A and B are shown apart, each in its own frame.
Chain A
Amino acid sequence: MKTTNIIERGWSALNDSVFHRLYDAYHQDVFQFLIYLVKNRILAEDLAHEVYVRVLRSYDQFAGNSSEKTWLFAIAKNVAIDHFRKQAVRQKHSLDFFDWETEQLHSNTPSPEDMLEASDEFMQVESALENCTGDQKMVIIMRYFQDLSIAETAQILDWTEAKVKTTQHRAIKFLRQQLQQVREQEAKRQ
């Protein structure tokens, strides 16, 4: 893995700037990851900018211990968590540590414009995701919306693969319960 990355980086130095290469390969993926987390297009654009700032400033320190893709997503994840942390700080007016894994990563209702293609079922899932813990929401977005493998997700979150699997299992179970409740309530209404 490391050798491959060194070769990739050597190649990049000869052919493509870091920005162009990462943009071309991953920009839309990273943007989608961010917009699903924060559900606000303008905010996702701001966070994507912040991701590039961090990437460009720290690329020389990138040790090649992971793929560029997982490194980039790890930075995007950190930028997003910083956003939620700031939000929590502002709401609580305290500088207490924000544990994103156990707290909920609350975001807005997605704009109707962004969700034109979404099915009713997906909107229900989206809504239920808001009630998941931060670690569960993150894993669902990475595994299902972003198609990241268990190994990639584990690297990005700096977890073991077992923890990813467990968290995913719990998230699915929780979502299923939430959706079941919604359906039962709908059935009662009808």
Chain B
Amino acid sequence: MTHNQFDDDQLEHVLNNAPKLSDRRSKDEILNRLLADTRLQDNVHLQEAIQQPIDEEVSAQEQQQSTETELTKRKTRKWPILMSVAAVFALTVGVGSMFMNNNDSKIDQATAPDIAPYSTMQDGPAAKTAENHDNYLDSSIAAEYAKFMSLRTSVYEEDLTEAVVFRIGLASRDVESVPMTYIIPNERVEADFGKEKPSTLQIYKKYAPQIKEEEKGFTNYHPYQGELKEKDDKLIHVLPEKNDYDVASAPVNEYKGTLQDTFSDSEYTEVEFENADGTPYEFSQEGEPSKAMSLTGPSHFNYYLYKDQNNGAEYLSPDFRQTFSSVTEAITVMRNKTDDVYVPVVPENVTYTVQEVAEGVVVTFNDPLDLTTMEPVRATQLIEAMMLTAASFDKQLRLDNVVQESWEGFDLKNFLPTPVGANKQYMDTP
């Protein structure tokens, strides 16, 4: 021990006597700001809060000055349910000020950036007003910030202007593959591989071991046991005699599912399973030498919500890899709950018809669908799950009879973009 005891005690004393820092705002102010946040439109807990009498409180300073102050004086006040335009504007500048505080400089609130492209309040007059004041900040930074705040979870072309996609099927605790789409900046790929474009297998070998699967709610599965290698346009997996995949039918299905989610959209046409001596591997459940598994076959899935029960993480995923012959059928049955693992993204009371047209597929809700009556996350999941389902048939989706004209940056008046992949992820730093 090179330090003296006095310093130890003093350090502990100083740490234990940190000054108390309190919020000087009143509860009213805090609640007012929440009321102005469109993300909490129709939030049941906020509605409860505004129905409840408010304790009139004293500020923290007053509390310190006089402990005799009567705290229980109540005033019964109903909060306005509908937000005023001024309140919406307050939100706009509020979010803007959060952004600008990051920059260590507080700019005049009237100059707050418009982050409307990804917000749920694009049509509001305040957003349009703010649109006129967005020249103070670098637009690319504002866009990046807006994306960060977005509820979207899929990857779109616009995410890939300077990045590549790495797809991988992660193994869930329910012994199923869940497709994930990683975005890797070009500069990182260049740093790792140089100027030459790496193969999908090279990318897998480089980045799969870096994924902290358990932190995301998955089992520690990648990289695969044995050896993966390329042979022309085929992938060969040399499996060790004893492996964790060939132990029962569910793990075998999971294993093949992860392979499909990882390599099906690649330069490889099929994957062969081999023993170390080059002979075809025989899965114990199949009772005969395995045949190559196609990686190019159609994967016409519909998408459900998968929720990891341990950490609460949510992902959009096919329902036990069930495939469909038509997009109409795939989208139509998305309302049905078929098992306890995957949850339909469509609320029970929402019904719709599906029609295939030349440009894609059109879902028409039977009753006008007001997305603000849903939790914003759920509404976004509904839209994106339908988009992913349509995309698995290489089709674009349009949603008709939705009250809102736009949502989370999606233009609901037109056909929506085709997602590149589900469950956007960013690679951990090595």
Contacts and interface: CB of A to CB of B under 8 A. Distances in A.
5 contacts: A17-B48, A40-B101, A40-B104, A97-B429, A122-B14
Interface string A43-64: 1111111101100110101010
A138 interface: no
B21 interface: yes
B163 interface: yes
Interface in A92-119: 94-99, 108, 114-119
A28 B24 CA distance: 9
Contacts of A63: 312
Contacts of B101: 40, 42-43, 46
B144 to A, nearest CB: 6
A160 interface: no
A84 B94 CA distance: 18
Given A94-B187, A97-B426, A31 B11 contact: no
Given A46-B94, A87-B102, A20 B49 contact: yes
Given A19-B45, A20-B49, A36-B18, A86 B102 contact: yes
Nearest to A33: B21
Interface residues of A, number: 61
Contacts of B375: 57
B45 A17 contact: yes
A32 B20 contact: yes
Contact of A89 (B17, B20, B148, B376): B148
A18 interface: yes
A19 B185 contact: no
A81 B102 CA distance: 13
A6 B43 CA distance: 21
A176 interface: yes
Interface in B379-430: 426-429
Contact of B18 (A17, A19, A144, A175): A144
Nearest to B103: A90
A43 B106 CA distance: 10
B11 A175 contact: yes
A8 interface: no
Given A32-B20, A90-B102, 15 more contacts: A17-B45, A17-B48, A17-B49, A19-B46, A20-B55, A44-B23, A45-B23, A53-B34, A53-B40, A56-B43, A57-B39, A97-B428, A99-B428, A118-B19, A144-B18
Interface centre among B20, B23, B103, B377 (most CB of A within 10 A): B23
A118 B15 CA distance: 11
Interface string B1-45: 001000110110011111111110101001101100101100101
Nearest to A177: B3
A31 B45 contact: no
A48 B10 CA distance: 32
A165 interface: no
A166 interface: no
Contacts of A27: 23, 27, 30
A117 to B, nearest CB: 4
Interface string B361-373: 0000000000000
Contact of A36 (B14, B21, B31, B429): B21
A32 B3 contact: no
A185 to B, nearest CB: 15
Given A125-B14, A179-B11, A20 B19 contact: no
Main secondary structure, interface of B, reads helix
B141 interface: yes
B23 A48 contact: yes
Nearest to B210: A97
A152 to B, nearest CB: 16
A122 B19 contact: yes
Contact of A32 (B22, B40, B43): B22
A164 interface: no
Contacts of B48: 17-19
A57 B40 contact: yes
A154 interface: no
B21 A95 contact: no
B92 interface: no
Contacts of B34: 19, 49, 52-53, 56
A90 B27 CA distance: 32
Which 8 A-B residue pairings sit nearest by Cβ, starting from the closest?
A: A46-B98, A17-B48, A19-B49, A144-B15, A31-B23, A43-B101, A97-B428, A17-B49
A40 B30 CA distance: 17
A179 B7 contact: yes
B377 A57 contact: yes
A42 B54 CA distance: 24
B408 to A, nearest CB: 14
A114 B14 contact: no
Contacts of B429: 96-99
B148 to A, nearest CB: 6
B175 interface: no
A32 B102 contact: no
A40 B19 CA distance: 15
B168 to A, nearest CB: 15
A86 B100 CA distance: 12
B193 interface: no
